[in-house]
Amino acid sequence: MTRTLIRDLNSKLGEAVTVSGWVHTRRDHGGLIFIDLRDHTGIVQLVMQPENAEAFTIAEQARDEFVLSATGLLKERDEGLKNPNIPTGTIEIVVETIKLLNRSEALPIPVHDDAPRASEEHRLKYRYLDLRRAKMQETLKRRSEYNKVLRDYMYEREFTEVATPILANSSPEGARDFLIPSRIHPGKFYALPQAPQQFKQLLMVGGIARYYQLATCFRDEDPRADRLYGEFYQLDMEMSFVEDGEVVRSTMEPLIKKLVTEFAGKTLVSEDVPRIPYSEAMDRFGSDKPDLRFGMELTDLSDVLANTGFGVFANTIKSGGVVKAIRVEGGASLSRSQIDQFALTAKSEGAGGLAYLTYDNGEVKSPIAKFLSSEELAAIKERMQAKDGDAVFFGADTRLIVNKVLGRLRSDFATHFELKDPNKVALAWVVDFPFYEWDERAKKIDFGHNPFSMPKGGVEALQVEDKLSIVADQYDMVMNGYEVCSGAVRNHNPEVMYEAFGILGYDTDYVNAKFGAMINAFKFGAPPHAGCAFGIDRMFMVLVDEDNIREIVAFPKNGSGMDTMMNSPSPIDEAQLKELSITSDIAV
């Protein structure tokens, strides 16, 4: 008899059915044995009666997670034995035949969602068992539905799905490459692509009007809660004959709104997705990926405190720095020990300390209040729109450090006061990123993101004296404080590419060596083009209310970048290394 999925049983009452799955639980009541059998669609109760000796004997031997197939009559449960907590709680199968398909040893981790969860390390070591949990089953099904929404949207808008190479060339795109030694070309290496950037631009030259793929990308970056180690997935797209990033943004924005409202069932904070210049985002929110589900914007108080007698503020302003603040509604309720913890956070971001004012019953309370005049205190209260119960926290340093410190505190205060409503999604486009940025470690300027963006104004824009003022036609989409997309109008002009690298001290030979295929292609009628890539792992994590990105992937690496299930990375024997013309001076 053909197997029936458990979810479909309710429509087959009174029929003989066959079901297969795992033993979820087993209960021996002496005269009867009950087994809750589980497949990927649900759970159903099996009833074994002693009159059916063969089936009863197998049921006596069965234990949790044994694999069974059972055939019997599907009937309604007696009235007092119905279980309203599961979809099949009103039915049961009176077993006629049962087959033991496989046995199971005692499990090293629980696989029931109602059991205490094992540590993440154990769950990843036995991930094939962890995947049996109903939540993981549902997550992977939802991920499949999510991918279908992405593909359907792109197909409907005449994008062509094209697979680009996995064995590629090393390219400076902001992260470390994974390198693959070539056996047939000793001493040379492939690189796993950090992104299909060069290939998708070459597709534009090749006449593909609209390209996309759900691309696997590889970056050797340290793992964290919102970033997978090693490999990740992105919805990668590009459009030819596009000279304005707004075309890309307006094309892709409806997809993200649809995912938020229709797929995830969440509420958009605003139907109108703001476009915020990078410099404004940093100045107002202290972050280039601001969470707009709450306010708490950074406010500049340098003018109010220009003549203050408080030395810390006065010296900062005189040296060219700024004094900024954020107002925390209800912040006066924070205990001294809680404020001390926020002060430690501020120091970890580069602050010398954390000055604050609290407002309570018409009084201003603070260790620094005595250093500020009554006029200054009144001006601060008015500018910050502070009221009883609020607190104002200050940052005083260079603009860069103050924005960084207050941006971090803004997020942490919002978490503490539960302002990050998981049922709401705030979207924003952050635009006009710096083309170059200062690399403090190398003590020189470098590309802000990657060298493939077009500077606004073309090659003429690169002639300005202050190179850090050059703006790229580049944009990110932000979702609830996470960057979920990065894109740009591309540099399709060899002259601009040579000039952009030349400013950093790289000659044409270097550019030709690194980007020879793209440079040569651009010489043969490359159309203007633009695109973006959405980090679909991170975006899915936000949409399904998951804090840890490893929970939404079938087989992730652990927090140390290791696969303890498959024991990788692992040593390679000498014969393999020799075949690849590689020697290792590290003993493993």
Residue 124 falls within a domain, yes or no? no
Mean pLDDT of 490-503: 91
CATH code, domain with 254: 3.30.930.10
**Whether 309 and 402 share a structural domain:** yes
The whole-angstrom distance between residue 337's C-alpha and the CA centroid of its chain comes to: 32
CATH assignment at residue 10: 2.40.50.140
pLDDT computed for residue 173 by the predictor: 59
Q: Are residues 196 and 82 in the same domain?
A: no
Residue 131 lies in a domain: no
Domain of residue 314, residue span: 294-419
432 & 567 share domain: yes
Residue of 286 and 514 predicted with greater confidence:
286
528 with 449, same domain?
yes
Lowest mean pLDDT among 193-197, 212-216, 437-441: 437-441
Q: Judge contact between 529 and 204, C-beta under 8 A.
A: yes
| Pairing label, strands 210-219, 160-161 | parallel
* 362 and 496 share one domain: no
Which range, 213-227, 395-409, 564-578, is most confident? Answer: 395-409
Residue 402 lies in a domain: yes
On whether both 406 and 326 belong to a single domain, the answer is yes
Do residue 433 and residue 394 come from a single domain?
A: no
Residues 407 and 433 in one domain: no
Last residue in a domain, options 419, 437, 471:
419
For residues 454-466, give the mean pLDDT: 89
Average pLDDT over residues 379-401: 97
Residue 460 lies in a domain: yes
Is it the case that residue 48 has pLDDT exceeding 70? yes
pLDDT reading at 588 higher than 80: no
Strands 33-39 and 16-28: antiparallel
Q: Which 3 state secondary structure label does DSSP give 563?
A: strand
Enter the tokens of residue 150: 């992405």
**381 in the same domain as 268:** no
Last residue of a domain, one of 361, 389, 419: 419
pLDDT tens, residue by residue, 79-125: 888 999 899 999 999 999 999 999 999 999 999 988 888 999 999 99
**Same domain membership, residue 434 and residue 567:** yes
**462 domain-assigned:** yes
Same domain, residue pair 317 and 412:
yes
When pLDDT is averaged across residues 297-320 and rounded to a whole number, the result is 96
Residue 565 has pLDDT above 90, yes or no: yes
Same domain, 233 and 344: no
Q: Which of 57, 87, 102 is the last residue of a domain?
A: 102
Report how many domains make up the chain. Answer: 3
Does a structural domain hold residue 111? no
Spatial contact of 484 and 477, defined as CB atoms under 8 Å apart:
yes
Residue 80: what pLDDT? 87
Helix axes 197-205, 508-522, angle to 10 degrees: 40
Q: What is the CATH number of the domain that holds 349?
A: 3.30.1360.30
Asked if residue 286 is part of any domain, the answer here is no
pLDDT band for 362, please (50, 70, 90 cuts). confident
